[in-house]
């Protein structure tokens, strides 16, 4: 029901914006503008739906301190800006729905975050032929701010997350020699991860692992599945595009 209301609100907002557009006349304007962006190659964007499950200790002033399990459903949008060839600045915003074990789920609330991706090194594997592909090491770091409830029952917490993943990209077999020339590939990744939740919730286990797979449908469009494990499993699916 909460998801339906949230999606209905978005549709209503879009329809309302379209209706209000009529008060300022039809959208018939010259294509020229004051500023023109010639190159979007530094930008990327995407979306993620994630189900997070963690064991935490409740530190909220209106509740008894106890150990419990929280489930958080995230619907997030991402935008990235390449600062250099190996550093990308990421911004995240969206909604989260909190459910504490044994209690009814809260409505969706706003969430936001920021992070960095560092591509530290890479190597093209040419031999043996069956292992031909692209090996790389990537570090992801992110801060996320969450909230749920209102008034005296308001709960706020944040999360610092970092991982170092070893990525193995297997190119499509179309007869080309250079993996970089191939438009399609599959990526497998695995590595250590750390996550610290603080605020009205305090995480129990901060060390874990991350594992996943991504499929590049084109050179720049990918879909992926990712699993994080910190005593409990967090998994999600994403889609991303890099200009």
pLDDT-based confidence at 11, cuts 50/70/90?
very low
**Distance in angstroms (rounded) separating the CA atoms of residues 167 and 136:** 5
For residues 27-44, give the mean pLDDT: 64
3-state secondary structure 105-149: CCCCEEEEEEEEEEEEEEEEECCCHHHCEEEEEEEEEEEEEEEEC
Domain assignment present for residue 8? The answer is no
Domain assignment present for residue 62? The answer is yes
Map tokens 């005593």 to a residue: 231
Q: Among 22-31, 121-130, 133-142, 191-200, which is the least confidently predicted range?
A: 22-31
Domain assignment present for residue 162? The answer is yes
pLDDT, residue 104, reads 66
DSSP classification of residue 18: H
pLDDT, residue 73, reads 94
168: nearest Cα among 156, 154, 155, 179: 179
Tokens of 1: 């029901």
pLDDT, residue 16, reads 45
pLDDT, residue 150, reads 82
221-230 and 232-242 strand pairing: antiparallel
Share of the chain above pLDDT 90, in %: 57
Domain assignment present for residue 100? The answer is yes
Q: What pLDDT, in 10s, does the model give residues 73-100?
A: 999 999 999 999 999 999 999 999 999 8
Tokens of 160: 């610092």
* Residue 205: HSE in the Cβ half-sphere, 13 Å Cα cutoff: 15
CB 232 within 8 A of CB 203: no
pLDDT, residue 151, reads 80
pLDDT, residue 192, reads 98
Q: What pLDDT, in 10s, does the model give residues 143-157?
A: 999 998 888 778 899
pLDDT-based confidence at 4, cuts 50/70/90?
very low
pLDDT, residue 190, reads 98
Tokens of 181: 């020339």
Number of helices (H), then strands (E), in the chain: 1, 11
For residues 222-239, give the mean pLDDT: 96
Domain assignment present for residue 16? The answer is no
- What is the distance of C-alpha 55 from the center of its chain? 21
Between CA 143 and CA 226, with CA 80 as vertex, the angle to 5 degrees is: 65
Total domains in the chain come to: 1
Domain assignment present for residue 36? The answer is no
Backbone angles phi, psi at 172, to 5 degrees: -70, 145
DSSP classification of residue 166: E
109-125 and 133-148 strand pairing: antiparallel
In CATH, what number is assigned to the domain containing residue 58?
Answer: 2.40.128
Map tokens 């909230």 to a residue: 147
- What is the distance of C-alpha 113 from the center of its chain? 10
Q: What pLDDT, in 10s, does the model give residues 67-78?
A: 899 999 999 999
For residues 170-192, give the mean pLDDT: 72
Which residue segment(s) compose the domain that 160 sits in?
43-242
Domain assignment present for residue 38? The answer is no
For the chain, what is the mean pLDDT?
Answer: 82
């Amino acid at each position: 029901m909460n998801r339906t209301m949230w999606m209905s609100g978005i549709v209503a907002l879009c329809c309302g914006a379209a209706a209000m557009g009529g008060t300022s006349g039809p959208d018939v304007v010259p294509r020229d503008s004051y500023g023109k962006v010639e190159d979007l190659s530094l930008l990327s964007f995407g979306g993620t739906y994630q189900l997070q499950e963690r064991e935490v200790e409740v530190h909220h002033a209106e509740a008894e301190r106890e150990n419990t399990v929280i489930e958080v459903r995230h619907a997030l949008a991402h935008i990235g800006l390449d600062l250099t060839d190996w550093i990308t600045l990421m911004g995240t915003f969206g909604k989260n729905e909190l459910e504490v074990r044994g209690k009814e789920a809260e409505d969706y609330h706003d969430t936001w975050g920021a992070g960095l991706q560092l591509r530290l090194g890479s190597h093209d594997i040419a031999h043996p032929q069956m292992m031909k592909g692209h090996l790389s090491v990537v570090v992801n770091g992110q801060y996320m701010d969450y909230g749920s409830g209102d008034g005296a029952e308001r709960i706020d917490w944040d999360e610092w997350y970092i991982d170092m993943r070893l990525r193995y990209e297997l190119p499509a077999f179309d007869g080309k020699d250079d993996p970089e020339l191939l438009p399609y590939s599959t990526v497998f990744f695995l590595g250590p991860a750390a996550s610290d939740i603080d605020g009205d919730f305090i995480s129990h286990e901060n060390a874990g692992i991350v594992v996943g797979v991504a499929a590049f449908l084109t050179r720049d469009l990918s879909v992926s599945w990712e699993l994080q494990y910190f005593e409990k499993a967090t998994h999600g699916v994403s889609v991303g595009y890099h200009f």
